[in-house]
A and B are shown apart, each in its own frame.
Chain A
């Protein structure tokens, strides 16, 4: 009924809009038909034609009024009025092209910045998974006291998939890893990105491959039996030029031949924000890929390498799923008390996963968004000020309109239409600016994402961002138009009509304008504070604890799993590699490390119990970040050994197990005692004892913000397959690349070198340039805010001066000194600035607290930042007030009195 009704009337409205003249004609014809009959009736009753006509018209109670009433019935008035208003607004805006352009530009800055930043926030947080019905895809995580986002083991996956009832399918996948790919058996392998997935992966996500098929259940049942692969769409286009005959072909991955059975959909680049796998392989083939060699992937419940996702059944809530999984986690804990003690599990929505606490990227996105919205706010208040000044010159016009009977609401609508058109101009230009800024972000791909794996910057100006820009445009139309519209239609008619400059003196009129200036000053002070704080914390983070060597270092990584080495072969390879590199000319020192400091890959964490440390009752162990290195590490990286010794060649697999801890670790667990000689036990208090033989200087390994507890293990005693070779060179480190290639070729020509770079450059991009982009972005917001606030204040003081020209002239004529005038005019500006500064300081403190709680671990207030920002703001704004005030003090009385 309702729907039918809507359908019926919608077509009528549409007809009234699109066939306006036709509808008007019909209206005329219908009334004429009636009148003619009425006239005929009158004549038949004996009236003269003239009288009959007169009577007929009278019976209508005014023909034109009736017509208008009938037009009202069509309910499209709002549209026709809006079109009329728009035409009028465009005409009047074209009369002041300078003002229109500056308003549009100001709004464009605000809207552009905000939409660009929204593209970041959207990519990081809101953009749904690229699958059908993305809303009911949830992620399961394992939780411990130290890690709320832990992985699951294969066995746990099978249990969860078998025992849960909340889902229409449970899938598992491992993180994307480097895969050695060669098109033929002879070709030297190249590094690509591969992802292990459960057989039901594509099916449950609802993204069946575009070509060929997904995995069958039986291909994922027996470890190592079905060597089949699905290609990523982008890879397929790149490598096979989109050739459909690729199905059934053999490709060699990590030295094993796989049969191509499908190509993933074009619109499915993978579930991650940054990475886009080139290959998907069934979990059953895990042995061929980078799973932990020390553990048995298919059996070991402690080999946690899998992410689990699932599709909620319709009607099942997240809460129900969480309860179900919590019960299952309790069962695990009972069944495997040793492995699963204090280990829980929970279910997260897409949003919860994207806003996980241990991820810093989205937090920056949110802070940027808050700051960008502040820029938009400053821009809008600035424009509101400009529109107020403009309204002043139109007081007369508005008074006339009111006097001849225009409703106030109708006039507000007219003025709002104007600001809407201005905002649309600004929005269009803003989209262009936003597009430019997003492109600018994308140019940092090689700075932010330094990896050989297939990744891309996820920021783009898509329909979602455009929609957000539209919403911002409407919002800014409202923000910058409402105050001027309300204020200028409150004109006192008599005064407005009488004087040419119908501005009514009085506090009420100026109140809005002053509030706007205070808002601008305070918000831009907050922006400046934020950008300065960010700048300072990046500077300090780039300085402290980063004293290790960076120059003259070449880094290149190896993963012998890519060519199916055993652990012994791997150890032998690294031993020979280091030996031969040491003998190469131009090489000063050589070391191997699992990860480089401040690199892209996370360090492993180590579960341990330090001897002599009282462990809380509810804990099995502590966890610390760790690195596996060989004996040359501390010397090559320039990290000082403060006590004890570094690793020696004598720390072999057969010797007693040793470790080196950093100073922070030593102080944390053995405060006041010598850490050297103490033992740590692995996993639990009954685990393998490892003697601490040295204490190293604390450096920032993982994060630029705060150093962490850290343990170093020798490679010989803690074999790790994927290691990075670090070479200290005499000259340019990149000149050593060829020598490394030569040596590797003599050892194994099939082994690819990954991420070969100058460490200095890598470090600069990761730890310095990346953060600097953020500083630049926030800094430019601060500068835009400051400029807008200066312009706003200048506008207000100048406006005051021009309004009071005659009054000032009289004062001067009566003997006021120009200094008195200056003081009187400046005093007003000063007061506004002081108020804005006070509010701005409060906002600044709030934003500092927010930034500290979200990204920087430091508490406390950065006094220096305020000592710089506040006087800067004060000086700049005072200058903005001084220029027009000085002009006022120089007013010649004779001229001023003749003014107007």
Chain B
């Protein structure tokens, strides 16, 4: 049982928004993609994925639609909304600022 730590928790929203900005996806596809792009570094439990998606949906950042998958099964596809795109921009900018600040600190050469 690995509860993602706070940093990861905070960035999960960002990852999901970014992923959905590229194309609408259903939950299973998201979980596969999460694993392939960051599986070794970030441990995102499948269990915490769905609550996170629901939260984003309730915030109005992503919207859901039931559609057929390629092999003809009904699945809930999530896609980014207009205000979600704004949210993504602001969160991405935040992340940039934070990570550059931290790397700046980390790269300070010890004397």
Contacts and interface: CB of A to CB of B under 8 A. Distances in A.
A70 B45 contact: no
Contacts of B58: 9, 12-13, 73-75
Given A12-B60, A70-B50, A73-B54, A37 B28 contact: yes
A217 interface: no
B46 A4 contact: no
A73 B55 contact: yes
Contact of A60 (B26, B46, B54): B46
Nearest to B82: A4
Contacts of A38: 28, 46
A29 interface: yes
A61 interface: yes
A62 interface: yes
Interface in A25-82: 26, 29-31, 33-34, 37-38, 59-62, 65-66, 69-70, 72-75
Contacts of B48: 61
Interface string B73-103: 1111000011100100000000000000000
Given A59-B46, A60-B46, A5 B54 contact: no
B45 A1 contact: no
A8 interface: yes
A34 B31 contact: yes
A557 B81 CA distance: 79
A430 B55 CA distance: 43
A8 B60 contact: yes
Interface residues of B, number: 26
Given A1-B86, A8-B81, A60-B47, A34 B55 contact: no
B57 interface: yes
A29 B74 contact: yes
Contacts, number: 68
B3 to A, nearest CB: 9
Contacts of B1: 61
A62 B45 CA distance: 11
Nearest to A26: B76
B40 to A, nearest CB: 17
Interface string A696-737: 000000000000000000000000000000000000000000
Given A1-B86, A12-B58, A61-B45, A34 B81 contact: no
B13 to A, nearest CB: 12
Contacts of B54: 70, 73-74
B24 interface: no
B6 to A, nearest CB: 17
A5 B83 contact: yes
Residue in B1, B60, B73, B83 whose Cβ sees the most chain A Cβ within 10 Å:
B60
B111 to A, nearest CB: 46
Residue in B46, B83, B86 whose Cβ sees the most chain A Cβ within 10 Å:
B46
Interface in B28-68: 28, 31, 45-48, 50-51, 54-55, 57-60, 66
A108 to B, nearest CB: 41
A75 B55 CA distance: 9
A66 B46 CA distance: 10
Nearest to B58: A73
Interface residues of A, number: 27
A30 B50 contact: yes
Interface in A205-226: none
A65 B75 CA distance: 22
A335 to B, nearest CB: 65
A61 B50 CA distance: 12
A70 B51 contact: yes
Contacts of A60: 46-47
A1 B82 CA distance: 10
Contacts of B57: 12, 73
B76 A33 contact: yes
Main secondary structure of the interface of B (DSSP, over half): helix
A62 B26 CA distance: 21
A61 B46 CA distance: 8
Nearest to B73: A33
A469 B48 CA distance: 47
A4 B75 CA distance: 27
Contact of B60 (A5, A31, A33, A61): A5
Interface string A1-26: 10011001100110000000000001
A34 B51 contact: no
Residue in A13, A26, A31, A61 whose Cβ sees the most chain B Cβ within 10 Å:
A61
B46 A30 contact: no
B60 A69 contact: no
A436 to B, nearest CB: 48
A832 B45 CA distance: 63
Contacts of B83: 1, 4-5, 8
A34 B30 CA distance: 10
A689 to B, nearest CB: 86
Contacts of A12: 57-58, 60
Nearest to A75: B58
A34 B48 CA distance: 13
Given A1-B83, A8-B60, A33 B26 contact: yes
Contacts of A61: 1, 45-48
Nearest to B56: A73
A34 B27 contact: yes
Contacts of A59: 45-47
A4 B48 CA distance: 28
Nearest to A62: B47
Nearest to B51: A69
Contacts of A34: 27-28, 31, 46, 50
A499 to B, nearest CB: 42
A60 B49 CA distance: 9
Nearest to A10: B60
Contacts of B31: 34
A73 B83 CA distance: 18
Contacts of A8: 60, 81, 83
B88 to A, nearest CB: 14
Nearest to A69: B51
B10 to A, nearest CB: 16
B86 A33 contact: no
Given A5-B83, A61-B1, A66 B27 contact: no
A623 B1 CA distance: 93
Nearest to B57: A12
Contacts of B50: 30-31, 34, 66, 70
A519 to B, nearest CB: 45
Interface in A57-112: 59-62, 65-66, 69-70, 72-75
Contacts of B66: 26
Given A1-B86, A38-B46, A33 B75 contact: yes
A66 B76 contact: no
A5 B82 CA distance: 10
Contacts of B75: 30, 33
Contacts of A31: 50
A3 B46 CA distance: 33
Contact of A30 (B47, B76, B81, B86): B76
Nearest to B60: A8
Given A8-B81, A9-B59, A33 B47 contact: no
A12 B59 CA distance: 9
B85 to A, nearest CB: 12
Contacts of B86: 1
Contacts of B82: 4
Nearest to B1: A61
Given A33-B73, A61-B1, A66-B51, 10 more contacts: A13-B58, A26-B66, A30-B50, A30-B76, A33-B26, A38-B28, A59-B45, A59-B47, A61-B45, A74-B54
12 contacts: A5-B60, A29-B74, A33-B27, A37-B28, A61-B46, A66-B47, A69-B51, A70-B54, A73-B51, A73-B54, A73-B55, A74-B58
Interface of B: 1, 26-28, 31, 45-48, 50-51, 54-55, 57-60, 66, 73-76, 81-83, 86
Top 6 closest pairs, chain A to chain B, by CB: A61-B47, A8-B60, A73-B54, A69-B51, A37-B28, A70-B54
